[in-house]
Amino acid sequence: MALDIEKIIKEMTVEEKIQFVSGINGFETKPIPRLGVRGIIMSDGPHGLRKSKDSSETMDTTINSEISVCLPSGTSLASSWDNELIYKVSNAIAEECIHYGVDVILGPAINIQRNPLCGRHFEYVSEDPYISANYASIYVKGVQDLNVAACLKHFACNNNENTRLFGSSYVDERALHEIYLKPFIDTIKASNPYTMMCAYNKLNGTFCSENYELLTSILRKRAGFCGVIMSDWSATNLRYEGVKAGLDLEMPGSNKDNDEILRVALKEGKITEEDLNKRCKNILKLNNVIKEKERKKCDFEKHHLLAIEAAEKSAILLKNETNLLPINKDENYVILGEMFEKNRYQGLGSSFIFPYKREILKQCFDTEGINYKYFKGYELDSDKVDEKLENEALKEIKDTDKVFICVGLNDEFECEGLDRKTYKLPDNQISLVNKVLKVNKNVILLIFSGSPFELDAIEEIPSILLFNLGGEGVAKAATNIILGKVNPSGKLVTTWPKKEEDIPYIDEFKNDTNIRYKESIYVGYRYYDTFGVETNFNFGHGLSYSKFEYTNPSIIYKNGRIKCKLTVKNISNVDGYETIQVYYEKEESNVYRAKNSLIGFKKEFIKANSEKEFEIEIDKKELEIFDVNSKEMVIENGSYLIKICKRLGEIIAQNSIDVVEESQLNSDTKINQFTKDNILNISNAEFDELNGFKIEEKGKEITLFSPIKDYKNSHLIGRIFYKAAIKSQLKQIKKVQKIENKEIRDHLTKNVNFSLKSMLNFTLNAMNNFDCNQMPKHTAIGLVELANGHIFKGLKSILKKK
């Protein structure tokens, strides 16, 4: 029965309201049994469930999590460019939610991939806002059609991991709206997600969790979002500021210190009961929208087959110059690289799940009876060159028909909570690839990696297959593609830059507190393409075993819609999918522009030696950009060049259309003094001046928002605290290493390693938010004082009675 929200609000005591706006534990909201309000249960995603067996746990759900099917991660699934598939995958995730009694799945994660060094690149969808919005809109529908709530995260501009708990992203208005907010806003308009998670970081100097402009002006008023806004886990600062700004729910729920802060704020008039009512009503509305469902068993085996299908459709054939692929299983093969035995399939962090049935590449090759010899060649968990392993491998490859080398980044090199230190593939893998190429050029490179990397030898390698982090079925999918049972059809949704120096403002990304997004709208391909920077692989690139021919293109603009048509003929003997992409260019403009922007696409299956009509219809709203004067998304008058492409820059046909709108963009504002020419070397002072930012550089003192790694160089007691923090994590590792079952031991070892590494970027504020019994506020403040050398003040605070 639906709750009578107004009545419940009248009957709730003020104390109940204070407590209702935070969770009861790790993944549940508070019930109010006397008023018939149940707790809402959440679980991480986004590419499968990480549901704790015991929801009263606050953090380490992976230690004790239920089994669920691990589907391809964000970038991977998005590379399928297959809307039906995305729907099927998210629908399956919702079925698993119903199986385990989960009301809210914490995904999709749709922050823009601004920089490939971001540790969480794998989980996010794309560098392109159109692809991200399209993906999220379908994902949300697939979940919510089964009456489970989706949660868009992390709002907004959480584009790096090292500084996410304390740093600030400084973003100009155009980049903010056109690139970073667009996926969220467009998804809200297209499919009404019931919940959103705000990001840890500050945006333009204010924490997202207490940012009125972001949460209320933009999200609720402008985008019309009417669901629950929850915090990322422990992402609050001044809790009452959050209540005023529009943050409904603080997660997780073990911070009674914040309840007290709300009590005092009410007393002092900093917030009113009406402010709390608004937050409570939104949470109660969620109870009504998702209703309590009967648990229904789901078919995990069916989902496992879906995981294989999804991985097959998401894999990308990056090169196949001499048609080394597909292979014939009776030739001689040498396979190198430890990834063959331990192919990576999911990323590490809050999305890390216990898979239902993990396929392993080596086993799949054995099952198929492929004739191969295998040598490790390198150690996966290290980057040190091991000459013994290399020599063993090199001895065998001279007379072999083809050499497979399995490479990629593993959890040591990319994971949530910290950013990658380098864009390079680990040294030992680079060394092996280079040495093999000197002996045998028939190399097929198999890549299992959550993000792009630098590898000079890419130019010399004739065949490359990219699997990203393709979920538990990826090894089977890879085997099917290698054998030609499946024709690859994925296309890149993120550019592969050649070198670290090619990534715009890479040093700025590595700053340790304030990150200036100086490249503005020139993110991903919008940068490489506009400024003519050569890449390894362009956005939208991906090959097939089929060959296609393109005829009869037409592009017209009528009644606010751009209509593109094309006939695609499969002129090969292999059935296959082709994806057609539509970009626009505005040559004459009053404001700075990217050369090409994606506005539509279509993927179709075409049988061998037959043809298919492609029709792609695009709403004119895709031409909108942000007008810094009116603060609205508007379309500039004039002519637009519409391009039908195979991938970015490979044009099949193009035509100009004239769009006459009432709005006329005015370039006469400070921010528009950015031009394509000065954007590449803008100084901090100029950037701040143009945007009106007043940015305080990080001080030397330790604060509640200093990362634990900073304590290493603080006063003695801070250094002792640093060592103790590390020691307690190492103790966890030792404990896990005693577990007998190897599979569980390996899985949990990864998890505790993640906690150890990401802890270095953790703050005492976050620790207090996570669990104020273990880290009470007065202890946290005391530790900060001690770390700054204020012994007396520090001890006084620590010894303070509550």
| x/- track of binding to ligand BGC for residues 645-684 (CB under 6 A) | ----------------------------------------
- State the Cα–Cα distance between residues 649 and 656, nearest whole angstrom: 16
- State the Cα–Cα distance between residues 755 and 758, nearest whole angstrom: 5
- Which stretches does DSSP call E strand in 681-794? none
The CB-of-304 to ligand BGC minimum distance in angstroms stands at: 24
Does the footprint of ligand BGC cover residue 161 (CB under 6 A)? no
- State the Cα–Cα distance between residues 317 and 574, nearest whole angstrom: 15
Catalytic, out of 82, 232, 275, 419? 232
Q: Which of residues 11-50 bind ligand BGC (CB under 6 A)?
A: 44
Q: Is the dihedral of CA 409, 413, 419, 425 positive or negative?
A: negative
Question: Is 193 within 8 Å of 227 (Cβ atoms)?
Answer: yes
Scanning 426-550, the segments in alpha helix (DSSP H) are 427-439, 474-482, 506-509, 525-530
- State the Cα–Cα distance between residues 512 and 277, nearest whole angstrom: 38
Closest CA to 450 of 116, 109, 127, 47: 116
| x/- track of binding to ligand BGC for residues 340-359 (CB under 6 A) | ----------x---------
The CB-of-774 to ligand BGC minimum distance in angstroms stands at: 17
Q: Which C-beta is closer to ligand BGC: that of 239 or that of 313? A: 239
- 675-679 long-range contacts (CB < 8 A, ≥24 apart) are 675/592, 676/530, 676/531, 676/592, 679/518, 679/519, 679/520, 679/522, 679/592
* Residue 217 backbone phi and psi in degrees, to 5: -65, -50
Q: Is the dihedral of CA 677, 679, 685, 691 positive or negative?
A: positive
The CB-of-109 to ligand BGC minimum distance in angstroms stands at: 6
- State the Cα–Cα distance between residues 356 and 359, nearest whole angstrom: 10
Does the footprint of ligand BGC cover residue 153 (CB under 6 A)? yes
Closest CA to 495 of 121, 230, 93: 121
Q: Which C-beta is closer to ligand BGC: that of 49 or that of 466? A: 49
Within 10 A of 493 (CB to CB), how many other CB atoms are there? 31
Q: Which C-beta is closer to ligand BGC: that of 47 or that of 476? A: 47
Q: Which C-beta is closer to ligand BGC: that of 11 or that of 54? A: 54
Beta bridge partners of 229: 196
361-368 and 474-482 helices, crossing angle to 10°:
40
The CB-of-89 to ligand BGC minimum distance in angstroms stands at: 18
427-439 and 387-395 helices, crossing angle to 10°:
30
716-737 and 777-787 helices, crossing angle to 10°:
120
Does the footprint of ligand BGC cover residue 106 (CB under 6 A)? yes
Q: Which C-beta is closer to ligand BGC: that of 165 or that of 325? A: 165
The CB-of-154 to ligand BGC minimum distance in angstroms stands at: 6
Q: Which C-beta is closer to ligand BGC: that of 161 or that of 257? A: 161
Q: Which C-beta is closer to ligand BGC: that of 232 or that of 275? A: 232
Structure tokens of 180?
A: 């970073």
* Residue 487 backbone phi and psi in degrees, to 5: -95, 120
Q: Which C-beta is closer to ligand BGC: that of 354 or that of 496? A: 354
The CB-of-759 to ligand BGC minimum distance in angstroms stands at: 12
User: DSSP 3-state assignment of 22?
Assistant: strand
- State the Cα–Cα distance between residues 570 and 418, nearest whole angstrom: 45
Q: Which C-beta is closer to ligand BGC: that of 461 or that of 766? A: 766
The CB-of-208 to ligand BGC minimum distance in angstroms stands at: 12
Does the footprint of ligand BGC cover residue 63 (CB under 6 A)? no
Q: Which C-beta is closer to ligand BGC: that of 49 or that of 138? A: 49
The CB-of-237 to ligand BGC minimum distance in angstroms stands at: 16
Identify whether 399 is a catalytic site residue: no
| x/- track of binding to ligand BGC for residues 448-487 (CB under 6 A) | ----------------------------------------
- State the Cα–Cα distance between residues 80 and 315, nearest whole angstrom: 7
Closest CA to 68 of 268, 307, 323: 307
The CB-of-106 to ligand BGC minimum distance in angstroms stands at: 4
Cis peptide before 183 (omega within 30 of 0): no
Q: Which of residues 68-97 bind ligand BGC (CB under 6 A)?
A: none
The CB-of-351 to ligand BGC minimum distance in angstroms stands at: 7
Residues in binding contact with ligand BGC, number by CB under 6 A: 6
Q: Which C-beta is closer to ligand BGC: that of 161 or that of 710? A: 161
Buried b (16+ CB within 10 A) or exposed e, 573-584: eeebbbbbbbbb
Beta bridge partners of 92: none
300-314 and 474-482 helices, crossing angle to 10°:
50
Structure tokens of 762?
A: 């953790």
Does the footprint of ligand BGC cover residue 233 (CB under 6 A)? yes
**Which of left, alpha, beta for 210 (phi over 0: left; psi -120 to 50: alpha)?**
alpha
Q: Which C-beta is closer to ligand BGC: that of 218 or that of 415? A: 415
The CB-of-77 to ligand BGC minimum distance in angstroms stands at: 17
Residue choice 161, 232, 454, 578 for contact with ligand BGC (CB under 6 A): 232
Instruction: By CB under 6 A, name the binding residues for ligand BGC.
Output: 44, 106, 153, 232-233, 350
Active-site residues, by number, are 232
